[in-house]
């Protein structure tokens, strides 16, 4: 099973700042990596799939990059609604696996 690690565990930032979240895979997942956002009491929401493709309705301030084992989710300028937990997930190998998450909270 492919293990995903995310860093940092918590990111404390202010609205308007740039957020950079990292996801590393235990082996290459090519570009088959997605990012999800989850707010308390809500279901996850797909942000990015296949490393860099924004899902339907996702604002342009969210962008993804990377391939192989190292990936980045960037939020160019944090809006108040962006404070949440972010998970990466690979679909390269069965079973699909998720990272442990990065919490972006308000500084």
Residues of this chain that interact with other proteins (CB under 8 A) are 34, 36, 38, 42-46, 49-50, 55-56, 87, 89, 91, 94-101
Handedness of CA 91, 87, 100, 41 (dihedral sign): negative
Closer residue to other proteins in complex, CB, 13/46: 46
Q: How far is the CB of 62 from other proteins (least distance, A)?
A: 15
CB atoms under 10 Å from CB of 86, counted, come to 25
Nearest Cα to 101, choosing from 32, 21, 33, 25? 21
Q: How far is the CB of 107 from other proteins (least distance, A)?
A: 23
Q: Which residue has the tokens 């339907």?
A: 56
Closer residue to other proteins in complex, CB, 13/55: 55
Q: How far is the CB of 36 from other proteins (least distance, A)?
A: 7
Q: How far is the CB of 45 from other proteins (least distance, A)?
A: 7
Closer residue to other proteins in complex, CB, 38/72: 38
> What residues does 24 pair with on adjacent strands?
5, 70
Closer residue to other proteins in complex, CB, 14/42: 42
Residue 51 phi, psi (nearest 5): 75, -40
> What residues does 75 pair with on adjacent strands?
19, 62
């Amino acid at each position: 099973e492919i293990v995903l690690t995310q860093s940092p565990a918590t990111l404390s930032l202010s609205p308007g700042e740039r957020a950079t979240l990292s996801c590393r895979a235990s082996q290459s997942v090519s570009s088959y990596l997605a990012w999800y956002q989850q707010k308390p009491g809500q279901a996850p929401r797909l942000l990015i799939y296949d490393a860099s493709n924004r899902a339907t309705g996702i604002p342009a301030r969210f962008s993804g990059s990377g391939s192989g084992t190292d990936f980045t989710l960037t939020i160019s300028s944090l809006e108040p609604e962006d404070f949440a937990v972010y998970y990466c997930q690979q679909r390269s190998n069965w079973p699909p696996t998720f990272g442990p998450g990065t919490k972006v909270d308000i500084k």
